[in-house]
Chain A
Amino acid sequence: KAGVTQTPRYLIKTRGQQVTLSCSPISGHRSVSWYQQTPGQGLQFLFEYFSETQRNKGNFPGRFSGRQFSNSRSEMNVSTLELGDSALYLCASSLVVGGTEAFFGQGTRLTVV
Protein backbone atom coordinates (compact mmCIF):
# COMPACT_ATOMS: atom_id res chain seq x y z
CA LYS A 1 0.00 0.00 0.00
CA ALA A 2 1.53 3.29 -1.10
CA GLY A 3 2.22 5.87 1.56
CA VAL A 4 1.51 9.58 1.57
CA THR A 5 3.18 11.24 -1.40
CA GLN A 6 4.16 14.88 -1.40
CA THR A 7 5.42 16.72 -4.44
CA PRO A 8 7.72 18.37 -5.06
CA ARG A 9 10.28 17.39 -2.43
CA TYR A 10 12.24 20.61 -2.75
CA LEU A 11 11.36 24.08 -3.97
CA ILE A 12 13.21 27.34 -4.19
CA LYS A 13 11.10 30.43 -4.76
CA THR A 14 11.62 34.17 -4.76
CA ARG A 15 9.88 36.56 -2.40
CA GLY A 16 6.55 37.65 -3.79
CA GLN A 17 5.98 34.55 -5.86
CA GLN A 18 3.34 31.97 -5.15
CA VAL A 19 3.70 28.23 -4.74
CA THR A 20 1.47 25.17 -4.84
CA LEU A 21 2.29 21.99 -2.96
CA SER A 22 0.59 18.68 -3.57
CA CYS A 23 -0.29 15.77 -1.31
CA SER A 24 -1.68 12.39 -2.30
CA PRO A 25 -3.02 10.53 0.74
CA ILE A 26 -3.05 6.82 1.34
CA SER A 27 -5.76 5.15 -0.70
CA GLY A 28 -9.03 5.19 1.22
CA HIS A 29 -8.00 7.99 3.56
CA ARG A 30 -10.38 10.93 3.44
CA SER A 31 -8.75 13.28 5.91
CA VAL A 32 -5.72 15.34 4.93
CA SER A 33 -3.93 17.78 7.23
CA TRP A 34 -1.09 20.19 6.56
CA TYR A 35 1.63 21.31 8.96
CA GLN A 36 4.44 23.80 8.77
CA GLN A 37 7.66 22.74 10.48
CA THR A 38 10.38 25.25 11.32
CA PRO A 39 13.26 25.11 13.81
CA GLY A 40 11.89 28.09 15.69
CA GLN A 41 8.16 27.35 15.80
CA GLY A 42 8.17 23.56 15.59
CA LEU A 43 5.17 21.88 14.00
CA GLN A 44 2.22 24.15 13.46
CA PHE A 45 -1.17 23.11 12.16
CA LEU A 46 -2.23 24.81 8.94
CA PHE A 47 -5.54 23.21 7.99
CA GLU A 48 -7.43 19.97 7.65
CA TYR A 49 -9.69 18.73 4.90
CA PHE A 50 -12.22 15.94 4.99
CA SER A 51 -14.35 14.97 2.01
CA GLU A 52 -13.40 18.15 0.15
CA THR A 53 -14.43 20.40 3.06
CA GLN A 54 -12.08 22.40 5.23
CA ARG A 55 -12.82 21.27 8.77
CA ASN A 56 -10.35 23.32 10.65
CA LYS A 57 -7.82 26.04 10.09
CA GLY A 58 -4.77 27.08 12.07
CA ASN A 59 -3.60 30.56 12.87
CA PHE A 60 -1.98 31.47 9.57
CA PRO A 61 -2.59 34.47 7.33
CA GLY A 62 -4.95 34.29 4.38
CA ARG A 63 -1.97 33.89 2.03
CA PHE A 64 -2.08 30.23 3.00
CA SER A 65 -4.93 28.34 1.42
CA GLY A 66 -5.75 24.81 0.46
CA ARG A 67 -8.25 22.55 -1.15
CA GLN A 68 -9.11 18.90 -1.46
CA PHE A 69 -10.30 17.14 -4.55
CA SER A 70 -12.88 14.37 -4.90
CA ASN A 71 -10.11 11.75 -4.96
CA SER A 72 -8.88 13.10 -1.59
CA ARG A 73 -5.71 14.56 -3.05
CA SER A 74 -4.97 17.92 -1.54
CA GLU A 75 -3.08 21.04 -2.51
CA MET A 76 -1.93 23.96 -0.49
CA ASN A 77 -1.09 27.32 -1.94
CA VAL A 78 0.99 30.11 -0.51
CA SER A 79 0.76 33.46 -2.26
CA THR A 80 3.07 36.47 -1.99
CA LEU A 81 5.84 34.42 -0.44
CA GLU A 82 7.87 35.87 2.41
CA LEU A 83 11.29 34.80 3.68
CA GLY A 84 9.60 33.51 6.84
CA ASP A 85 7.60 30.99 4.82
CA SER A 86 10.76 28.93 4.37
CA ALA A 87 9.94 25.66 6.09
CA LEU A 88 9.27 21.98 5.74
CA TYR A 89 5.62 21.50 4.86
CA LEU A 90 4.22 18.18 5.98
CA CYS A 91 1.04 16.54 4.87
CA ALA A 92 -0.67 13.81 6.87
CA SER A 93 -3.56 11.58 5.96
CA SER A 94 -5.85 9.53 8.15
CA LEU A 95 -8.78 7.24 7.60
CA VAL A 96 -11.24 9.35 9.52
CA VAL A 97 -11.20 12.57 11.47
CA GLY A 98 -9.67 12.67 14.92
CA GLY A 99 -8.10 10.13 17.23
CA THR A 100 -6.64 7.84 14.64
CA GLU A 101 -3.08 7.46 13.42
CA ALA A 102 -1.91 10.16 11.04
CA PHE A 103 0.40 8.99 8.28
CA PHE A 104 2.89 11.61 7.20
CA GLY A 105 4.55 12.27 3.89
CA GLN A 106 8.23 13.07 3.49
CA GLY A 107 7.44 16.74 3.24
CA THR A 108 8.21 19.55 0.83
CA ARG A 109 11.19 21.69 1.73
CA LEU A 110 10.37 25.25 0.62
CA THR A 111 13.12 27.85 0.55
CA VAL A 112 12.19 31.45 -0.13
CA VAL A 113 15.06 33.69 -1.26
Chain B
Amino acid sequence: AQTVTQSQPEMSVQEAETVTLSCTYDTSESNYYLFWYKQPPSRQMILVIRQEAYKQQNATENRFSVNFQKAAKSFSLKISDSQLGDTAMYFCAFDNTDKLIFGTGTRLQVFP
Protein backbone atom coordinates (compact mmCIF):
# COMPACT_ATOMS: atom_id res chain seq x y z
CA ALA B 1 0.00 0.00 0.00
CA GLN B 2 1.14 3.50 -0.73
CA THR B 3 2.06 5.72 2.19
CA VAL B 4 3.07 9.35 2.50
CA THR B 5 5.17 10.58 5.41
CA GLN B 6 5.69 14.13 6.53
CA SER B 7 8.12 14.06 9.43
CA GLN B 8 7.86 17.72 10.43
CA PRO B 9 4.59 18.40 12.27
CA GLU B 10 5.41 22.08 12.70
CA MET B 11 7.84 24.55 11.25
CA SER B 12 8.36 28.26 11.47
CA VAL B 13 10.21 30.73 9.30
CA GLN B 14 10.79 34.43 9.28
CA GLU B 15 9.28 36.53 6.55
CA ALA B 16 11.46 36.73 3.40
CA GLU B 17 13.44 33.65 4.41
CA THR B 18 13.45 30.24 2.72
CA VAL B 19 11.99 27.10 4.22
CA THR B 20 11.90 23.48 3.04
CA LEU B 21 9.17 21.02 3.95
CA SER B 22 9.97 17.31 3.72
CA CYS B 23 7.92 14.48 2.29
CA THR B 24 8.71 10.87 1.59
CA TYR B 25 6.45 8.26 0.08
CA ASP B 26 6.40 4.58 -0.52
CA THR B 27 5.12 2.89 -3.66
CA SER B 28 6.02 0.11 -6.02
CA GLU B 29 4.48 1.89 -8.98
CA SER B 30 6.46 3.75 -11.59
CA ASN B 31 3.79 6.08 -12.90
CA TYR B 32 2.20 8.47 -10.44
CA TYR B 33 1.76 12.11 -9.50
CA LEU B 34 2.80 14.09 -6.47
CA PHE B 35 1.23 17.23 -5.09
CA TRP B 36 1.64 19.79 -2.39
CA TYR B 37 -1.59 21.27 -1.12
CA LYS B 38 -1.97 24.21 1.22
CA GLN B 39 -4.78 24.57 3.75
CA PRO B 40 -4.87 28.07 5.27
CA PRO B 41 -6.69 28.67 8.54
CA SER B 42 -9.89 29.40 6.56
CA ARG B 43 -9.82 25.67 5.65
CA GLN B 44 -10.13 25.58 1.87
CA MET B 45 -7.39 23.40 0.44
CA ILE B 46 -5.63 24.71 -2.66
CA LEU B 47 -3.00 23.23 -4.92
CA VAL B 48 0.51 24.62 -4.54
CA ILE B 49 2.46 22.52 -7.00
CA ARG B 50 2.24 19.30 -9.00
CA GLN B 51 4.91 16.88 -10.21
CA GLU B 52 4.60 14.03 -12.68
CA ALA B 53 6.82 11.11 -11.73
CA TYR B 54 8.01 10.48 -15.27
CA LYS B 55 9.37 14.02 -15.53
CA GLN B 56 12.87 14.43 -14.21
CA GLN B 57 12.69 18.19 -14.14
CA ASN B 58 11.59 19.61 -10.81
CA ALA B 59 8.35 21.60 -10.90
CA THR B 60 8.41 25.30 -10.07
CA GLU B 61 5.58 27.75 -9.44
CA ASN B 62 6.82 31.25 -8.66
CA ARG B 63 8.26 31.12 -5.11
CA PHE B 64 7.46 27.43 -4.74
CA SER B 65 9.69 24.66 -6.05
CA VAL B 66 10.15 20.99 -5.37
CA ASN B 67 13.11 18.68 -5.08
CA PHE B 68 11.88 15.40 -6.53
CA GLN B 69 14.17 12.45 -5.95
CA LYS B 70 12.40 9.45 -7.49
CA ALA B 71 14.91 6.82 -6.45
CA ALA B 72 14.86 8.05 -2.87
CA LYS B 73 11.07 8.53 -3.00
CA SER B 74 11.45 12.02 -1.69
CA PHE B 75 9.43 15.10 -2.63
CA SER B 76 10.31 18.22 -0.65
CA LEU B 77 8.79 21.67 -1.07
CA LYS B 78 10.90 24.80 -0.96
CA ILE B 79 9.25 28.13 -0.29
CA SER B 80 11.42 31.10 -1.11
CA ASP B 81 10.88 34.66 0.11
CA SER B 82 8.28 33.46 2.64
CA GLN B 83 5.27 35.69 3.13
CA LEU B 84 2.80 35.98 5.99
CA GLY B 85 0.14 34.58 3.70
CA ASP B 86 2.09 31.34 3.44
CA THR B 87 1.04 30.49 7.00
CA ALA B 88 -0.98 27.29 6.60
CA MET B 89 -1.00 23.52 6.86
CA TYR B 90 0.87 21.94 3.97
CA PHE B 91 -0.02 18.48 2.81
CA CYS B 92 2.02 16.28 0.55
CA ALA B 93 -0.12 13.94 -1.55
CA PHE B 94 0.43 10.93 -3.79
CA ASP B 95 -1.85 10.05 -6.69
CA ASN B 96 -1.59 6.82 -8.65
CA THR B 97 -4.76 7.79 -10.60
CA ASP B 98 -6.69 5.68 -8.12
CA LYS B 99 -7.00 8.13 -5.25
CA LEU B 100 -5.14 10.87 -3.43
CA ILE B 101 -3.21 9.73 -0.37
CA PHE B 102 -2.21 12.52 1.96
CA GLY B 103 0.54 12.89 4.50
CA THR B 104 -0.26 14.09 8.00
CA GLY B 105 0.68 17.65 7.16
CA THR B 106 3.19 20.25 8.30
CA ARG B 107 1.94 23.37 10.03
CA LEU B 108 3.99 26.30 8.78
CA GLN B 109 4.04 29.58 10.66
CA VAL B 110 5.56 32.61 8.98
CA PHE B 111 6.36 35.38 11.43
CA PRO B 112 7.35 39.00 10.77
Measuring CB to CB, which residues of chain A are less than 8 angstroms from any residue of chain B?
33, 35, 42-43, 45, 48, 56, 58, 88, 90, 92, 97-99, 101-107
Q: Considering only CB atoms and an 8 Å cut-off, how many residues of chain B contact the other chain?
A: 23
Instruction: List chain A residues, Cβ under 8 A from B43.
Output: 88, 106-107
* B102 with A99: CB separation less than 8 A: no
A-B residue pair count with CB separations less than 8 angstroms: 48
* Partner of B100 from A42, A102, A105 at Cβ < 8 Å: A102
Contact flag A42-B105 (CB < 8 Å), given A104-B45, A106-B43: yes
Whether A98 touches B104, Cβ cut-off 8 Å, given contacts A90-B45, A104-B44, is no
Q: Does B50 count as interface, using CB distance less than 8 angstroms? A: yes
**Docked pose: A20 CA to B104 CA in angstroms:** 27
Question: Given known contacts A104-B44, A104-B45, A106-B43, is B99 in contact with A33 (CB within 8 Å)?
Answer: yes
